[in-house]
Structure 1
């Protein structure tokens, strides 16, 4: 989510590869530019994007089924199953964030990104919080709970007034995170009539906000659907080097401005739980991994699908390797390092950001920030190697 990000052209930078990642191959290093066309990379990227969004929708619908079972019969078991389904679906959505930042269907002027994944969230905008049992639209029976109304209320009169998307669902399933050692612990009885005021509205809200999330995800996926004459993919797939430039912008901006900056640096500086991405479920460490993985997916042209199959084709790495094998290898090593660094971030993230500046936990988060920052510079170098001289990337 944008809070104070600005567009900027990143300076070029070098990277020193560490031996631990030296085994990462550049498969297309021997290819020539005449054997691989920019169009091949762009078209495979479109295929990968559609596959990732399709898997996200499938996983979100599985989450919807689990939430429905929970709402029909609230219990600890059904609540736990709904929570796990949310976590499972986030694994796929997190990888799609590499498809942002270039005025595509997810975050152009009319894009639903703000309804899908806006954060940080003021919990009291939606439901009760400690110290205020009557807070939120759920406890205001004058406000209708419909998809249109919730969409209208999202970020109304304030960017933290979030009423829709992944994190609104997350808050409803977990509640406020008041623990130093684990996630939120909203009791399932919040959804049982007679156990908590406005339980009926709480059930309605969770049902409707989940439906809206799936609608929004589907609207984005439809713009990447193959075989259409007038959707975004139809034009993007014919865009050649301009579309390649957009792909680079997406990866570089997620690397530096959003993931390293907005999602990690801000929380490191504030040490505030409210600045972590998935604060109610304590899933922030996995958000970082899936974002980093999404970048690697696009770079390599490889994506592991929900059914376990692997989608493979020409990625940015192959196009860069056809022009400059050294730049391709250097960027591949740094991206692999970023994924490994993100995987090493301790959980829970809200505790990892506490303590002394030189603590072991903070050092691991800082290592991820440093790797992603260098990665964005390497992506600029890689783009330059294929004739793209400037990338307007999002920087903090």
Structure 2
């Protein structure tokens, strides 16, 4: 993991130049453009690996496709800081990173899987079903098309757990269910689930390959569309640059990601429930790396710098310079908290890459693992409190951060 050295990047009142909000906004949109473009590149590599798997199924091609999926995640995760404050991103995000999902909607699951108690489609298994009934009407699913996935199956019946597209649908098809929370192992779908003829396991191998290919193509298409919104002339870029108070959307995105989304829904909720299904990348056990990418995305906007997977750097005016010029003490406090969160996320990655996967830390009596996860929650909450103070320091109104029952009302989680 790339850990930002506080001593090298910390801002001080004397070093910070009095930059305008528009300078910060210009760097913000440049980082968004670069990160989404890198996410597209990752999806293109994933698409190529999936095509190779389908053409010649084997242990090697399945492993390569899984590696391509993991490699595609860091750039995307660093874009999540652009959620919440940018409506165009929020309206779109569910297509690509919605979770958790009732995987029985898509494919076969273990007999012990009960799905969502209130989700009638939790065991649909569309890969094995060439037709099904939705809202009283018969749906022809003989061909697995983009329209079937994104218009019919995605949130079928109005249930958000019916996730048919995006990273996690592809992840499930590559890894299968992770049925072990007491061992350092992820999902273990056999490559023969994509094999032809008598070698096929799991049944419906041709349709499974068709679904995987369609979902991967859709992921690339959706990411490409969003990348275009941040290019010159794009709607998302224009909205930020025309905003008279861009700090509102920037603080809203940083704060909501740190507090409600990460600290609450993605991390604390899993600790409270001790439920491996609440692990963000639950099939691949890639969750710690994704958590790190989210925190790094916040750091990118604060410091005004982004480094892509190819080493290309975007460098400009970060929000930190604006805050430091207004309140150097608050800026220094936040940087300390941000660096602590990066270090905690890095510790989580290190522990998970040893002999204790993230889901093991959630469900086992593992005081040390629980403490590592809980420390990241604590750091993220502290960051959000400083972000909340920044709206007053910058004299802007309208910053509203997403909440989470896991943080605000623990009793409600168990109701």
Would you say same fold, with TM above 0.5?
Answer: yes
Contact 1:129 1:135 in 2 (8 A): no
Distance 1:36 1:308 in 2: 26
Contact 2:276 2:363 in 1 (8 A): no
Please list the CA deviations of residues 288-336 of structure 1 after superposition, one character each: whole Å capped at 9, or x if unmatched.
1111111111111111112112211101001111111111111111111
Partner of 2:364: 355
Partner of 1:384: 392
Contact 1:138 1:205 in 2 (8 A): yes
Partner of 1:178: 179
Partner of 2:97: 117
Partner of 1:215: 221
Distance 1:355 1:36, change over 3 A: same
Aligned counterpart in structure 2 of residue 131 of structure 1, from 111, 115, 135: 111
Partner of 1:90: 73
Contact 2:85 2:248 in 1 (8 A): no
Please list the CA deviations of residues 131-154 of structure 1 after superposition, one character each: whole Å capped at 9, or x if unmatched.
299951000123131111100211
Partner of 1:52: 35
1:166 aligns with 2:167: yes
TM-superposed CA distance for 1:341, in Å, is: 0.7
Root-mean-square deviation (CA, aligned residues, Å) is 1.9
Partner of 1:147: 146
TM-score normalised according to structure 1 size: 0.89
Distance 1:141 1:344, change over 3 A: same
TM-superposed CA distance for 1:104, in Å, is: 2.7
Counting matched residue pairs gives: 369
Distance 1:32 1:75 in 2: 55
Aligned counterpart in structure 2 of residue 26 of structure 1, from 7, 10, 15: 10
1:369 aligns with 2:377: yes
Distance 2:112 2:373 in 1: 34
Aligned counterpart in structure 1 of residue 275 of structure 2, from 265, 272, 285: 272
Distance 2:112 2:395 in 1: 57
Distance 1:166 1:354 in 2: 24
TM-superposed CA distance for 1:238, in Å, is: 2.2
Distance 1:47 1:62, change over 3 A: same
Please list the CA deviations of residues 217-243 of structure 1 after superposition, one character each: whole Å capped at 9, or x if unmatched.
1121111111x1x622123212132x2
1:246 aligns with 2:284: no
Aligned counterpart in structure 2 of residue 297 of structure 1, from 296, 300, 319: 300
Distance 1:25 1:170 in 2: 36
Worse-matched range after superposition: 347-356 or 307-316: 347-356
Contact 1:174 1:184 in 2 (8 A): yes
Contact 1:384 1:390 in 2 (8 A): no
Contact 2:6 2:339 in 1 (8 A): no
Q: Which runs of 4+ in 1 moved over 6 A?
A: none
Distance 1:24 1:31 in 2: 12
Please list the CA deviations of residues 152-202 of structure 1 after superposition, one character each: whole Å capped at 9, or x if unmatched.
211112211111100000000000112332100000101112213211111
Distance 1:382 1:165, change over 3 A: same
Distance 2:296 2:284 in 1: 20
Structure 1: 5+ residue stretches without partners: 1-19
Q: Which has the higher helix share?
A: 2
Distance 1:254 1:181, change over 3 A: same
Worse-matched range after superposition: 20-29 or 119-128: 20-29
Higher relative contact order (CA 8 A, sep 6+): 1
